[in-house]
Structure 1
Amino acid sequence: MNNLVLSLAPKFTKLQTLILRQDKPQLEDNAVETIANYCHDLQDLDLSKSFKLSDRSLFALAHGCPNLIKLNISGCTAFSDMGLAYLAQFCRKLKYLNLCGCVKAASDKALKTIGYNCRQLQSLNLGWCENVGDVGVMSLAYGCPDLRALDLCGCVLITDDSVIALANNCLHLRSLGLYYCQNITDRAMYSLAHSRVKNKHEMWESMKNRYMEEGLVNLNISQCTALTPPAVQAVCDSFPSLHTCSGRHSLIISGCLNLTSVHCACADLAHRAASALPHPAH
């Protein structure tokens, strides 16, 4: 694959989308440098599982591909936070960024730079980036108010402060992954629930209808064992698109046995419908 990219990249200078996802890592820095040297219009790049790539690739993309909107570098374990921070200073149009498994690259230092420079960011996957803490997530919340999807699954250092910052600043958040974030407590859940009410009153009249269509549609709190049913129920009640009913699981609570009593509006409707049925005569 590496030689193929080296030979073809100079011939496709107007390329906008390039998928180089690999099962067996073959791509090397010189191939990415060639892409950056010739494909200046590139907007969507997938380099996932490219274990051989180093920060050289990120430096090259920063200078050669400033129009990047979507970048997937999940599983690229050799990237550092310095390389990622450098990229964020030049690729300011990024809207979709997948850093899942990039433990060394996704640090609070790098996230602060992303939050400061990538103000248009809408989707960020930080799954299993165990060095991510509240400082980094709060920087994202303050700097990227248009965030729609954020995966923090396995980010074991974050606390309620991260979720509270997201609830207060990212009004368009639709999907939030908190799997195995065991420092999350009821404070975080109530902040999500209350932000829905508070922010609705603060919206301009012209924005009300649009706002009512938004809100969380996916929330993963599996293995967040400190949460109690009343707090999670409050979130479920505040966001009607969160479902616990069969076939529509968008509120994921597996591994939290104390949350089995939490239910969505569909369960109430089903119960009322069953109760309204006439009972057979005896």
Structure 2
Amino acid sequence: MAPNTKKSKGRKRMFLGLHRISSSPSLAKMRPYKSSSRASMSCVSLHSSYDPMSSSSLNSELSQQFSTAPTSAANSPGPATPTFDLRPRARTLERNLSSNVGLPFGVHPVSPGLSEGTIAEEDYFSCAGTADEVQDLPRRKNFNFWNDMPSEIRIQVLSFLTPREVVRSSRVSKIWYDFCFDGQLWSRLDASEYYRDIPADALVKIISNAGPFVRDLNLRGCVQLREKWTLKGLIEACGNLENFSLEGCLIDRASVHSFLLQNSRLVHINVSGLPAVTNAALKIIGQNCPKLELLNVTWCQNVDTRGIRKVVEGCPNLKDLRAGEVRGWDDVAFCLELFERNSLERLALTNCDAFTDQALSALIVGVNGEKDWDTGRIICPPRKFKHLDFTRCRQLTDASIQLLAHNIPDLEGLHLAKCNQPNTLPATWITDASLTKILPTFPRLTHLDLEELENITNATLSAIATSPAANILKHLSISYCEALTDAGMVPLIRACRHLERIDMDNTRISDLCLIEAAAAVRERNRQAAKKVVGKRGVAQDVHIGLRMVVYDCPNVTWMGVREVLSRNAEVIRPPSHILLNPASASFSSTNIADSPTYCHEVISLKAFYTWQPTINEHSKRVHACDFDRARRLERKWAEFMMLGEEASQGGRRRRRRMREALEAMHGEEGVVDANGVAVRRRRARSSPLNGGNSCTVM
């Protein structure tokens, strides 16, 4: 081969070599080769004018060594080993070639270093084309998947990591460090989940770098920033906040004012429990934050209704006001201003002892309103309240609570827990007289808290069960209402079919309530089974449908708890009549025992503390869909409780019989000691030694 000829590589080399591949019959047509020279298959190209009838000396020569004709005998020997030399060799060509038959296109017939009529012969894929026709493929540039990726996509990838994972990923390299602390990743900075683990320096760096991008900043409980608020650029970095929470932080007054002055787009502000928040801070909010919708100043000792008035006047969009344990709620003029604006949807006044009947009356119906002589109610526009929290407002009585009737049609949550003031006359407490009047007027009520209202009876429960909101009520708390019994609770559980939580501790309910609750949840499961009865392969999904708190209820026994555990471990399967009907379900041919288990609800129970470990273990097995082990645990626990009762009853019976036997033997009154053993006690007798006036106790 010529030294200047460029040798092809790769796929082109293979395609060029295909021109030299042939079989032995195709050599008969190759006339340019001399008959005297030895032929080779490695340098003959395929030709379209193949004539199998033509013959030559070359054909006869190769036919003896590479015969392709089928043999007649089954045990014919294979082809003989070729006798000629297979190494590359030179062959002679005729000088005048009519055509380049047998040579690849673009290859010169004569190579330098050999005679004019000879050419070096090589293997199949060694022939190369000309420099114009054969070119090397351009090598692909090295592609760095991460570095060549657009920055927007990299930020999007990192956004799926948790904040803790993002901070740990910053240790990979400097490039990763810059991307992990990019502000676009921290548009929502919520440190309430990891505030104990993140150091102050890392938190300061995140806030400083991501300041302009942060919209939601929640630093709840970040006490490690106590000495960092004065650092230059920390507070100034955050200027576009919308949601802001500093609950539980240790921060000075100047830093709070700086945050409020630099963020005029605030919508939610939570500064509960901060001594640094004063009426001056609320004045800044009223002047600088016109878009405010939520304000939480609960437990702010230096705040009163004078500062809240500034917020109400400057923030027309205020809908949620949480001012628990704030002084000054006996100001009737301020409550009247809230009545005239009528923009609040949630009002939480927990532990506001100053909130009186006069203030509540001004808040609900105003002052000196016109009265409707037909109904006896004051005519006023309906209030927009959806949630009212008057927990521990001990100055409220039935007189003001009755004003809620027919004036708050959209009320969803009502909290009147612990409103009865101790050491006062029961006539000033909240009783059935007001509750039975207002509860039927709340058609959207979902949360009701009546904890520690000791004067309410089953009449209140009957009012709840017959109210329009009975079908949508979800949360009910009647703890420490000692006058409530099964007569009121059983109809309530039957009527409220969507209850999710009932707190009934320290009441007089019995096992009937637990049995009724288990039956109600079972009915929910049946309704759910009917909805998915035509579906195939419904996965098991056990979830809590009802939470019940029944500890310290003296009438609740282990048998009621066992009923709940038994219902929780019950397997919900398709109805048998549907499985046997081919036209009603796609899995009708399956057996009932092999039918799929449907999604169903269970009851989460909190009972007597010695039973609670067994209840927790049973719930764990039920949630793992291990119903066999759950049923076995329930059965063993029931056997254990029955053996304990039999043992205790037998012990009492034996002690009673022993005492009766001793009394019959000695004719005296039997006595049982601390260990339950009968002892003898002799009556005092007169002694003749002291004249019969003294006695000796044996």
Give the shorter-chain TM-score range: 0.7 to 0.9
Of 211, 224, 232, the residue aligned with 1:52 is 224
1:222 to 1:114, Cα distance in 2 relative to 1, 3 A: same
Which residue in the other structure is 1:176 paired with? 347
Answering whether residue 105 of structure 2 is matched by residue 105 of structure 1, we say no
Q: How far off is 1:47 after superposition?
A: 1.0
Which residue in the other structure is 1:95 paired with? 267
1:231 to 1:105, Cα distance in 2 relative to 1, 3 A: same
Which residue in the other structure is 1:117 paired with? 288
% identical aligned pairs: 25
Which residue in the other structure is 2:391 paired with? 222
1:154 to 1:191, Cα distance in 2 relative to 1, 3 A: same
Q: How far off is 1:139 after superposition?
A: 1.1
1:38 to 1:18, Cα distance in 2 relative to 1, 3 A: closer
Which residue in the other structure is 1:79 paired with? 251
Which residue in the other structure is 1:207 paired with? none
Once residues 227 and 184 of structure 1 are traced to their aligned partners in structure 2, the CA distance between those partners, rounded to angstroms, is 7
Answering whether residue 239 of structure 2 is matched by residue 43 of structure 1, we say no
Of 156, 160, 164, the residue aligned with 2:330 is 160
Contact 2:211 2:239 in 1 (8 A): no
Once residues 36 and 107 of structure 1 are traced to their aligned partners in structure 2, the CA distance between those partners, rounded to angstroms, is 27
Once residues 225 and 52 of structure 1 are traced to their aligned partners in structure 2, the CA distance between those partners, rounded to angstroms, is 38
Which residue in the other structure is 2:137 paired with? none
Output one character per residue of 1:123-160: Cα deviation in whole Å (capped at 9) or x when no partner: 111121122112211111111121111111122x2323
Q: How far off is 1:179 after superposition?
A: 0.9
Contact 2:271 2:277 in 1 (8 A): yes
Q: How far off is 1:70 after superposition?
A: 0.5
Once residues 114 and 55 of structure 1 are traced to their aligned partners in structure 2, the CA distance between those partners, rounded to angstroms, is 25
Of 144, 160, 169, the residue aligned with 2:315 is 144
TM-score by length of 1: 0.75
- Structure 1 stretch displaced more, 3-12 or 17-26: 3-12
* Bigger Cα Rg: 2
Contact 1:10 1:38 in 2 (8 A): no
Contact 2:277 2:300 in 1 (8 A): yes
Contact 1:83 1:105 in 2 (8 A): no
Once residues 107 and 9 of structure 1 are traced to their aligned partners in structure 2, the CA distance between those partners, rounded to angstroms, is 39
Of 358, 363, 373, the residue aligned with 1:187 is 358
Contact 2:273 2:298 in 1 (8 A): yes
2:390 alignment partner AA: I
Once residues 60 and 120 of structure 1 are traced to their aligned partners in structure 2, the CA distance between those partners, rounded to angstroms, is 26
Answering whether residue 470 of structure 2 is matched by residue 270 of structure 1, we say no
Contact 1:40 1:64 in 2 (8 A): yes
Output one character per residue of 1:145-204: Cα deviation in whole Å (capped at 9) or x when no partner: 21111111122x2323354443334x32111110110111122212221259x9xxxxxx
Q: How far off is 1:116 after superposition?
A: 1.2
Contact 1:25 1:49 in 2 (8 A): no
Contact 1:125 1:151 in 2 (8 A): yes
1:177 to 1:57, Cα distance in 2 relative to 1, 3 A: same
2:181 alignment partner AA: K
- How many corresponding residue pairs? 248
2:183 alignment partner AA: T
2:329 alignment partner AA: T
Q: How far off is 1:117 after superposition?
A: 0.8
Which residue in the other structure is 2:404 paired with? 235
Counterpart mapping for 1:188-203 below 5 A: 188-194=359-365
1:191 to 1:46, Cα distance in 2 relative to 1, 3 A: same
Which residue in the other structure is 1:66 paired with? 239
Once residues 261 and 277 of structure 2 are traced to their aligned partners in structure 1, the CA distance between those partners, rounded to angstroms, is 15
Once residues 207 and 313 of structure 2 are traced to their aligned partners in structure 1, the CA distance between those partners, rounded to angstroms, is 33
Matched residue SS, 1:219: strand
Once residues 271 and 34 of structure 1 are traced to their aligned partners in structure 2, the CA distance between those partners, rounded to angstroms, is 53
Once residues 394 and 309 of structure 2 are traced to their aligned partners in structure 1, the CA distance between those partners, rounded to angstroms, is 23
TM-score by length of 2: 0.33
Q: How far off is 1:73 after superposition?
A: 1.4
Once residues 467 and 387 of structure 2 are traced to their aligned partners in structure 1, the CA distance between those partners, rounded to angstroms, is 24
2:238 alignment partner AA: C
Of 175, 181, 195, the residue aligned with 1:11 is 181
1:154 alignment partner AA: E
Contact 2:361 2:400 in 1 (8 A): yes
Once residues 315 and 348 of structure 2 are traced to their aligned partners in structure 1, the CA distance between those partners, rounded to angstroms, is 17
More helix by share: 1
1:184 to 1:60, Cα distance in 2 relative to 1, 3 A: farther
Once residues 312 and 214 of structure 2 are traced to their aligned partners in structure 1, the CA distance between those partners, rounded to angstroms, is 27
Q: How far off is 1:29 after superposition?
A: 6.3
